[in-house]
Amino acid sequence: MTELLHYTQLGQGEPLLILHGLFGSSKNWHSLAKQFAEKFTVYSVDLRNHGSSFHDAQMNYQVMAEDVEALINHLGLQPYSIIGHSMGGKTAMLCALRCRHKISKLVVADIAPVNYQHSHTDLIGPILAIDLNRVSSRAQVDKTLATDISDPMLRGFLLQNLGREGDSWYWKVNWRAIQQQMDALVDFPLNSDDNTDIPALFIRGENSDYVDDRGITAIHQTFGNARIETMSNAGHWLHAEQPQKFTELVLHFLG
């Protein structure tokens, strides 16, 4: 039997899936999920090698889409709407292309169906260099990472993946698998004839470079019924930087 992704469920109404980005988890979306749950049954999912979901050496969009589809089939959800940010947005797009008859609406946050040069392997090396057997506190890990990762907010985000059981520390993220499969994660498995007319909303951050002219062209070629909104005063983590505006845009689109 296929191992199922971990998820949390909130609210009542039509089903709505939320897929987080790289190095994130469903917990990053808890506040927004509570707002969406006023109108929908919200399933906040931990993608493979993240959060409380299983670890696996394979890490690409085909297997991640299959994971989501297995969960959908297990829960018996169709039709459903889906929101995805960054890596989760690429997974959501592939789900829409593979199972377009099951998805009613698609929301993608600050990512396009293209390959990227953005690689985050420089963050993984310092993390893997830490010997968790010698760690006594979260602050100690933060201090160690500060040598290579100067941004305290970024370190705080990464440290959300540090778990503890008794006196033992562990990483919820499978850093090694992600490091080895990063080329697949910055790419997107798109065939020239892949397209769908599913109603789609793409929201990009004004201060982000993830959805440029090349990305906009790819969006319209692949998603013929797509609308693109640019959120002012927001970067790549637009849902965290402008949560109220993001929620308003999504709820207006989902209806």
> CB–CB of 211/185 below 8 Å?
no
Active-site residue (options: 20, 50, 85, 236)? 236
Give the 3-state secondary structure of 127-187. Answer: HHCCCHHHCCCHHHHHHHHCCCCCCHHHHHHHHCCEEEECCEEEECCCHHHHHHCHHHHHC
Residues 6+ apart with CB under 8 A from 85: 19, 20, 21, 24, 108, 109, 110, 111, 237, 239
* 20 part of the active site: no
> CB–CB of 48/67 below 8 Å?
yes
Give the closest residue to 8 by CA, choosing from 39, 38, 41, 48.
41
* 236 part of the active site: yes
Encoding tokens for residue 231? 């959120």
Active-site residue (options: 86, 101, 220, 252)? 86
Helix (H) or strand (E) holding 105: strand 103-109
Residue whose tokens read 């637009």: 238
Residue whose tokens read 């959805």: 211
Distance CA 168, CA 174 (A): 17
Residues 6+ apart with CB under 8 A from 167: none
Question: Hey, which residues are catalytic here?
Answer: 86, 236
